[in-house]
Amino acid sequence: MNTAKDEVKSLLQRLPDNCTFEDIQYHLYVIEKIRKGLDRAEVEGTIPHEEVEKRLSKWTIE
Protein backbone atom coordinates (compact mmCIF):
# COMPACT_ATOMS: atom_id res chain seq x y z
CA MET A 1 0.00 0.00 0.00
CA ASN A 2 1.23 3.44 -0.86
CA THR A 3 1.89 5.98 1.84
CA ALA A 4 0.01 9.27 1.85
CA LYS A 5 3.19 10.97 0.68
CA ASP A 6 3.47 8.55 -2.27
CA GLU A 7 -0.15 9.24 -3.23
CA VAL A 8 0.40 13.00 -3.14
CA LYS A 9 3.51 12.66 -5.30
CA SER A 10 1.56 10.55 -7.79
CA LEU A 11 -1.29 13.07 -7.84
CA LEU A 12 1.09 15.95 -8.47
CA GLN A 13 2.66 14.06 -11.38
CA ARG A 14 -0.78 13.57 -12.97
CA LEU A 15 -2.03 17.14 -12.59
CA PRO A 16 -1.18 19.75 -15.23
CA ASP A 17 1.64 22.19 -14.53
CA ASN A 18 -0.78 25.12 -14.47
CA CYS A 19 -3.06 23.67 -11.76
CA THR A 20 -3.95 25.85 -8.80
CA PHE A 21 -3.74 25.19 -5.08
CA GLU A 22 -7.51 24.84 -5.17
CA ASP A 23 -7.22 22.12 -7.83
CA ILE A 24 -4.75 20.22 -5.66
CA GLN A 25 -6.93 20.60 -2.56
CA TYR A 26 -9.99 19.38 -4.45
CA HIS A 27 -8.23 16.27 -5.72
CA LEU A 28 -6.84 15.50 -2.27
CA TYR A 29 -10.35 15.90 -0.84
CA VAL A 30 -11.79 13.49 -3.41
CA ILE A 31 -9.03 10.92 -2.80
CA GLU A 32 -9.65 11.06 0.96
CA LYS A 33 -13.43 10.71 0.58
CA ILE A 34 -12.98 7.70 -1.71
CA ARG A 35 -10.54 6.11 0.74
CA LYS A 36 -12.94 6.64 3.65
CA GLY A 37 -15.81 5.20 1.63
CA LEU A 38 -13.84 2.09 0.71
CA ASP A 39 -12.76 1.61 4.33
CA ARG A 40 -16.36 1.99 5.49
CA ALA A 41 -17.60 -0.48 2.90
CA GLU A 42 -15.02 -2.99 4.06
CA VAL A 43 -16.07 -2.63 7.71
CA GLU A 44 -19.84 -2.24 7.31
CA GLY A 45 -20.36 -4.10 4.05
CA THR A 46 -22.15 -2.94 0.94
CA ILE A 47 -25.68 -3.00 -0.44
CA PRO A 48 -26.45 -5.42 -3.30
CA HIS A 49 -27.12 -3.80 -6.67
CA GLU A 50 -30.74 -4.94 -6.66
CA GLU A 51 -31.35 -3.22 -3.30
CA VAL A 52 -29.81 0.01 -4.61
CA GLU A 53 -32.14 -0.09 -7.63
CA LYS A 54 -35.11 -0.71 -5.34
CA ARG A 55 -34.20 2.19 -3.06
CA LEU A 56 -33.55 4.58 -5.94
CA SER A 57 -36.64 3.61 -7.94
CA LYS A 58 -38.80 6.06 -5.99
CA TRP A 59 -36.46 8.88 -7.04
CA THR A 60 -36.12 8.06 -10.73
CA ILE A 61 -38.55 8.36 -13.62
CA GLU A 62 -38.70 5.52 -16.11
Query: SS3 of 62, please?
Result: coil
- Dump pLDDT digits (tens) for 17-56: 999 999 999 999 999 999 999 999 999 999 999 999 999 9
Please tell me the pTM assigned to this model. 0.72
- d(C-alpha 62, C-alpha 58), whole Å: 10
- d(C-alpha 17, C-alpha 23), whole Å: 11
Sequence ranges of the domains in the chain: 4-12+19-57
